[in-house]
A = this chain, B = another copy of it.
Amino acid sequence: MAKKVWQADDNGLHPLVEDYTVGSDYITDLQLLEFDIEASKAHSKMLLAQKILTKEEFEHLNIALEKLTVLVQEGSFKIDKSQEDGHTAIEQYLTDECGEAGKKIHTGRSRNDQSLVMIRLFSKKILLEIEKDIKQLVKAYEVAIKQFGKEPMPGYTHMQKAMPTTIATWLGAYKDGFSDVANYLPSTLDYINQNPLGSASGFGITNFANQRDLTTNELGFEKTQENPIYCGISRGLFENVVLQSLSPAMVLAGKFANDMLLFTTSEFGFVSLPSQYTTGSSIMPQKRNYDVFEIMRGNSKLYHTLQLQIQDIILGFGTGYQRDLQLTKKSFIDAINLCKQTIILLSELVANLQFNEDRLRSAMTDDLFVTNKVYDLVNDGMSFREAYKIVKKKYFDNIRGY
Contacts and interface: CB of A to CB of B under 8 A. Distances in A.
A279 interface: yes
A401 interface: no
A233 B173 contact: yes
A157 B322 contact: yes
Q: Main secondary structure on chain A at its contact with chain B?
A: helix
Query: Which of A157, A161, A268, A299 has the most B CB atoms < 10 Å from its CB?
Result: A157
Contacts of A371: 201, 205, 283-286
Contacts of A302: 309, 312-313, 327
A230 interface: yes
A202 interface: yes
Interface stretch (A70-78, A122-130, A252-260): A252-260
A344 to B, nearest CB: 7
Given A11-B276, A244-B245, A370 B322 contact: no
Interface residues of A, number: 168
A300 interface: yes
A155 B5 contact: no
Interface stretch (A33-41, A59-67, A131-139, A375-383): A375-383
A260 B319 CA distance: 10
A158 B6 CA distance: 15
Given A176-B230, A207-B379, 7 more contacts: A9-B393, A106-B282, A156-B320, A157-B281, A158-B321, A301-B312, A305-B306
12 contacts: A6-B279, A6-B285, A8-B388, A20-B292, A112-B157, A159-B322, A163-B284, A173-B229, A251-B314, A295-B327, A304-B308, A305-B305
